[in-house]
Structure 1
Amino acid sequence: MPDAATARPGLSAAIIAFLGKGESSLPRADDDAISASPADRPALVADVRAVVAECLAIDPDWSTHTLAEGGRVARSAMAQRHPELSSEALDALAWAYTYNWR
């Protein structure tokens, strides 16, 4: 999985496209929405899927957090873990997180 030093170019845009943020009324998992050269595409898809899975696995203390707070916890955790991600990509991850945990 990429870190700030080895971030794959286009990762933020690929996360947004994969989840459908701004295009869909609910989050999706659409490999075909990810644009990349044929040589780079399989690795980029794998990185996107790994980052999304990592985000969805964050488990705040639901006894003290609302769904909205849980989304903010997930966004903050992903921002710390992946400083290479854009604010828009982090928003897309939080959007998918709250949808999946509702």
Structure 2
Amino acid sequence: MTDHPVDLSDAVVLFLTGFPSRNDDEFLAGVADEATRDAVHAILDETRRIPIEWGRKTLPEIGQEVRGVVRQRHPELTDTAVDRLGSYFTYLVK
């Protein structure tokens, strides 16, 4: 386990590394703080529940919309974390 706290953005990126494959062991080893792990799971749940008006939008357009919502709700997250969350959403709905 790591001896120093892991930034929330880094924890999101670590959790989603290799998605849709699971990397539970790496995530648990890399993010020792239970509160940070819980925060990652909460952001993933929140991202899955973002309401999207599909209309005639393409999947990439939906991903951009989700990234915008995540960015607005979580300005503390890095661009990389936001991008991963957008990709996570579009994978789940494709």
Q: Bin the TM-score by the shorter chain.
A: 0.7 to 0.9
Tell me the amino acid that sits aligned with residue 76 of structure 1. Answer: G
1:51 is aligned, of 43, 47, 60, to 43
**Pick from 63, 88, 92: which aligns with 1:96?**
88
Aligned to 2:9: 12
Q: In the aligned structure 2, how far is the partner of 1:13 from the partner of 1:65?
A: 30
Q: Which runs of 4+ in 1 moved over 4 A?
A: none
Judging by fraction of residues, say which structure has more helix. Answer: 2
**1:72-87 equivalences in 2 (<5 Å):** 72-87=64-79
TM-score for the superposition, normalised by structure 2 = 0.81
Do 2:6 and 2:31's aligned partners in 1 also have CA atoms closer than 8 Å? no
Q: Percent identity?
A: 35
Contact 1:31 1:45 in 2 (8 A): no
Structure 2: runs of 5 or more not aligned = none
* Structure 1 portions without partners, runs of 5+: 1-7
- Structure 2 vs 1, CA of residues 13 and 49 (structure 1 numbering), >3 Å: closer, same or farther? same
Residue identity in the other structure for 1:67: L
Q: Which amino acid aligns with 1:43?
A: A
Cα RMSD (Å): 1.8
Where do residues 24-39 of structure 1 align in structure 2 (5 Å cutoff)?
A: 24=18, 26-28=19-21, 30-34=23-27, 35-37=30-32
Task: Calculate the TM-score normalised by the size of structure 1.
Answer: 0.76
Task: Report the Cα distance in structure 2 between the residues aligned to 1:18 and 1:65, rounded to whole angstroms.
Answer: 28
CA separation in 1, counterparts of 2:24 and 2:12?
A: 10
